[in-house]
Amino acid sequence: MRKALAVGRKEFWQIVRDGRTLMILLFVPAFFLGLYGYALSWDIRHVRLAVMDRDNSRDSRELISSFTNSTYFDIVATVRSMTDIERLMDRGDIRVALVIPEGMSHDLRTGRVAQVQVLINGDNANTATTVFGYAQAIVRGVSAQLQLDIIAGGKMPPPISAEPRIWYNPELTSTLFLVPGLIGFIVMISSVVSTSMSIVREKERGTWEQVRMAPINNVSYVVGKTIPYFVISLVSALFIIAAAMVLFGLPMRGSWLLLLFTVSLFLAGALGTGLLVSTLVDSQSLAFQVSLLISMLPTIILSGFIFPIASMPAPIRAITYLVPARYFLVALRAIVLKGVDAHVVSMELAALGVYAVAVLGLASVRLGKEKV
């Protein structure tokens, strides 16, 4: 244990003096959070809208103001002809056009179905679908209101009204869903990359040979190497979580202690992965590439961070069971968004624990092979 502490203390001094490692551990996570945190969002706001109002009535103006008041749409042009719409759409100045035909108000008041036209630029199918949803919701809302006004002078409620209530993320802001994934992603990358360099660097500089000459067993060495990275990464991870709360309004409904424990398990696995890479390769540049590849890709694609695991084909879904971020994301979302107890996420915690023990063990074994 004394030896492990000696290794840990040495490693800590080295990290603190080596700006590059410290940057990977502290600055890069903050940078990623800022960058991705603002860029990553499925919510579309301020869609550029052109309006062609041929009716020019109180009802048509009501409809238009419903669009602008929603904050999803910004009116950037008021036009008189379809050719204007075509021109604006072609130039990319607008994404949506709302066309209100002459006589809409008249149709409404005389009990006929009034039609408005919403033209959407479909070159980006995702955006188009979302925008279409917004537009439909707004039109439906306005028409329901009008119906009530007309029929009962606003006194009668609609016959059946479903009252949706979304739990844990009432505004359905995709940020709340994405930020926990982002936290897992950042923590994984920074801790895997930084530790993957640590043993290779010693091999390159020749100090590794000196360490091999000393009577220290592999487990002590791996434990000693991991401790300082663990402490620094933990501080960094908690900072990231705190920053996500301040910047993106991530709530904290569960227990801090449980959160700390979950993050610790995840970190141990990530650091073990980095050490394992470090024992397998012989140069720092290769270590950097390998660790980036194995930490980044699975964490983005196979963890449920962005693509839902449930909709993956079975063979791919099987692979996701090997990705630690998968369990971390489920646990993290459950703890911060739902405030669940430990037993709810016990499966995920167990999986993270097994992964950590496995990779740290493998790293120790590999280190033993290196020694002979």
Partner 1 sequence: MPAVTVRELTRRFGDFVAVDRVSFNVEQGEIFGFLGSNGAGKSTTIRMLCGLLKPTSGSALVGGIDVGRDPEGVKRRIGYMSQRFSLYELLTVEENITFFGGLYGLDDNAITRRRDFVLDMAGLRGRERTLTQDLAGGWRQRLALGCAILHEPPILFLDEPTGGVDPVSRRQFWALINQLSDGGVTVFVTTHYLDEAEHCHRLALMQAGRIAALGTVHELKAVFSDRAVVEVRTPSPMEALRALDDVPSVEKTSLFGTALHVWLRPGERDTRPLRQRFTERGLAIESVEFVQPSLEDVFMDVVERAGGTSG
Min CB(28)–partner 1 separation in Å = 20
DSSP conformation class of 252: -
- Minimum CB distance to partner 1, residue 213 (Å): 4
Contact 27, 176 (CB under 8 A): no
**If binding is defined by CB under 8 A, does position 20 make contact with partner 1?**
no
Nearer to partner 1, 139 or 211 (CB): 211
Residue number, 214 or 347, with CB nearest to partner 1: 214
> Does residue 6 bind partner 1 (CB under 8 A)?
yes
How many whole angstroms separate alpha carbon 192 and alpha carbon 295?
7
- Does residue 369 bind partner 1 (CB under 8 A)? no
Minimum CB separation of residue 3 from partner 1 in Å reads: 6
Q: Total residues at the site for partner 1 (CB under 8 A)? A: 26
Question: 56-59 — which CB contacts under 8 Å span 24+ positions?
Answer: 57/104, 57/105, 58/105, 59/104, 59/105, 59/108, 59/146
3-class secondary structure, 51: strand
Is residue 207 near partner 1 by the rule CB under 8 A? yes
Q: Is 9 in the site for partner 1 (CB under 8 A)?
A: yes
Binding residue (CB under 8 A) for partner 1 from 160, 213, 257, 314: 213
Give kind and range of the element (H or E) at residue 77.
strand 73-78
Nearer to partner 1, 206 or 313 (CB): 206
Smallest distance, partner 1 to C-beta of residue 231, A: 18
Angle (CA) 64-105-122 rounded to 5° is 45
Among 86, 90, 102, 209, contact with partner 1 (rule: CB under 8 A): 209
Residue indicated by tokens 């919403």: 118
Q: Is 124 helix (H, G, I), strand (E, B) or coil?
A: coil
Position among 40, 77, 118, 211 found at the interface with partner 1 (CB under 8 A): 211
Using the rule CB under 8 A, is 212 a contact of partner 1? yes
Which of 62, 209 has the CB closer to partner 1? 209
HSE, side-chain direction, 13 A CA sphere, residue 287: 26
**CA nearest neighbour of 97 among 82, 115, 114:** 82
Q: Which is nearer to partner 1, 361 or 368 (CB)?
A: 368
Nearer to partner 1 by Cβ, of 213 and 310: the residue is 213
**CA 366 – CA 282 distance, rounded (Å):** 13
In the chain, the amino acid numbered 167 is W
Please, which residue, 218 or 291, has the CB nearer to partner 1? 218
Q: How far is the CB of 211 from partner 1 (least distance, A)?
A: 7
Q: Torsion angle of alpha carbons 133, 136, 142, 143, nearest 10°? A: -150
* Site membership for partner 1, residue 17 (CB under 8 A): yes
Q: CA-CA distances (angstroms) from residue 343 to 2, 125, 200, 263, 348?
A: 36, 41, 40, 16, 10
Part in contact with partner 1 (CB under 8 A); list of ranges 28-36, 150-158, 200-208, 305-313: 200-208
Q: How far is the CB of 370 from partner 1 (least distance, A)?
A: 10
Contact between 86 and partner 1 per CB under 8 A: no
Cα 68 to Cα 43: distance, rounded to the nearest angstrom: 16
3-class secondary structure, 99: strand
**Residue from 54, 112, 205, 253 binding partner 1 (CB under 8 A):** 205
Residue 13 makes contact with partner 1 by CB under 8 A:
yes
Binding partner 1 (rule: CB under 8 A), the pick from 159, 164, 206, 313 is: 206
Footprint of partner 1 on this chain (CB under 8 A)? 2-3, 5-7, 9-10, 13-14, 17-18, 205-217, 371-372
